[in-house]
Amino acid sequence: MKLVDEFELGLDAPICITWELTYACNLACVHCLSSSGRRDPRELTTAEAKGVISQLQRMQVFYVNIGGGEPTVRRDFWELLDHAAEHGVGVKFSTNGSRIDAAAAARLAASDYVDVQVSIDGATAAVNDAVRGPGSFDTALGALERLAAAGFRKPKISVVVTRQNAGQLDDFKAIADRYGAQLRITRLRPSGRGADVWDEMHPTAEQQRSLYMWLLEHGDEVLTGDSFFHLSAYGEALPGLNLCGAGRVVCLIDPVGDVYACPFAIHDEFLAGNVREPRGFEGVWRDSELFTELRRPQSGGACESCGHYDACRGGCMAAKFFTGLPLDGPDPECALGHGEGLLAARGAEVAIPAPAVDHSRVKPSRLRNGTPERPPAKVCDENPLADFLTAEG
């Protein structure tokens, strides 16, 4: 049996887990897939989080991708990081860089078990800040500079590929090279607040094709979290595991302990259980009804007769779900264009599912493209430079 087929039937423990430690965030990125902003009062306590780490150690989950929200705003963030390292659970955490001061950088450089991923979504301040907020580009680069100065080896720079930055892939690579970092690019999902901006931000078909060509050329130097496997239908398979690992080899633990099939599917439909249940995470992973179902052979539905089905496997479940498309049909960004037709044909009666939880401070989310992106909370909160934050070319 091929490895991919093995993985589709699920493993006794996940290969890797995304663990959003908090919904609290000091930024308000327009495409935030977890709709983060405010802290959830039901957040896992330090003791509960340590309990999860013990279970992961027992299950031999080698590493977790920690995110949020901004995970470093949790008061016990460093304590949990140390605890994970002591228990053989490696950590890669995503950050906007705002809390990576010189002391934090030195501390990170001293640990073998921690990897850092700094997020930017534009290779220029204009493109980045339109998505992540004013000043966020400089903040991120400052963190990368301090990490480099402290001798941290090979941090990651994490980029969500959008219509606005798809032309900057070489520039992102140059930034990564400048800081001794490795570039990681991932797919924009219509999840969380991403649903509000997906129509204007997801790459065009032409950009997808260029992205695919770029990945064929640079695939071994950049990380992708295997998130572009739907593009394999263009021809050659991309490096990495080309499959949807949701509930089979990956899953998400959210800040309140809810376990979802994948980080891009925070919705009741994909909720398997909670780590606070008597048998904890292990019980949810092994026996939940949802994960058991996902590990059964799936039907390719409308895609099964397509000659490229083996390459793309119907694409991303979350992308279909949050654009209102059937799960057993093509991905909205199907390389052969089958998604576009379906999107256009969606009737007004098609209800787009809303995320299960929303911790946004202000709604709705809109790309900050020159107009004030949202009403200021108070008149005096308006950034006087907001009108000048226009996107470059």
Stretch that binds another protein, among 101-109, 110-118, 140-148, 264-272 (CB under 8 A): 110-118
- 229 sits near another protein (criterion: CB under 8 A): no
Answer for the pair 31, 60: CB distance below 8 angstroms, yes or no: no
Helix, strand, coil content of the chain in percent (nearest 5): 35, 10, 50
Round to whole Å and give the CA distance between 371 and 155: 34
Distance in Å, CB of 15 to another protein, minimum: 7
Binding mask 30-69 for another protein (x = CB under 8 A): ------------------------------x-xx------
Binding mask 4-33 for another protein (x = CB under 8 A): --x----xxx-xx-----------------
Answer for the pair 263, 17: CB distance below 8 angstroms, yes or no: no
Binding mask 115-144 for another protein (x = CB under 8 A): x-----------------------------
Answer for the pair 118, 92: CB distance below 8 angstroms, yes or no: no
- 112 sits near another protein (criterion: CB under 8 A): yes
Among candidate residues 219, 184, 248, the one with its CA nearest the CA of residue 17: 248
Query: Between residues 117 and 365, which has the closer beta carbon with respect to another protein?
Result: 117
Distances (CA, A) of 309 to 163, 213, 301, 320, 329: 26, 20, 10, 16, 11
- 297 sits near another protein (criterion: CB under 8 A): no
**Which one among 113, 124, 239, 274 touches another protein, defined by CB under 8 A?**
113
Distance in Å, CB of 114 to another protein, minimum: 10
**Which one among 51, 88, 135, 142 touches another protein, defined by CB under 8 A?**
88
Strand pairing class (90-95; 156-161): unpaired
Query: Between residues 113 and 214, which has the closer beta carbon with respect to another protein?
Result: 113
Please report the sign of the dihedral spanned by the C-alpha atoms of residue 200, residue 311, residue 169, residue 136: positive
- Phi then psi for residue 221, to 5 deg, are -95, -20
Distance in Å, CB of 177 to another protein, minimum: 19
- Supply 233's token pair: 């239908």
**Which one among 27, 64, 81, 92 touches another protein, defined by CB under 8 A?**
92
Distance in Å, CB of 62 to another protein, minimum: 4
- Supply 329's token pair: 């049909």
State the burial class of residue 105 (Cβ atoms within 10 Å of its Cβ: 0-12, 13-18, 19+).
Answer: buried
Within 10 angstroms of residue 1's Cβ, the number of other Cβ atoms is 7
Query: Between residues 109 and 334, which has the closer beta carbon with respect to another protein?
Result: 109
Stretch that binds another protein, among 86-94, 303-311, 312-320, 351-359 (CB under 8 A): 86-94
Distance in Å, CB of 88 to another protein, minimum: 7
By CB under 8 A, name the binding residues for another protein. Answer: 1, 3, 6, 11-13, 15-16, 60, 62-63, 88, 90, 92, 112-113, 115
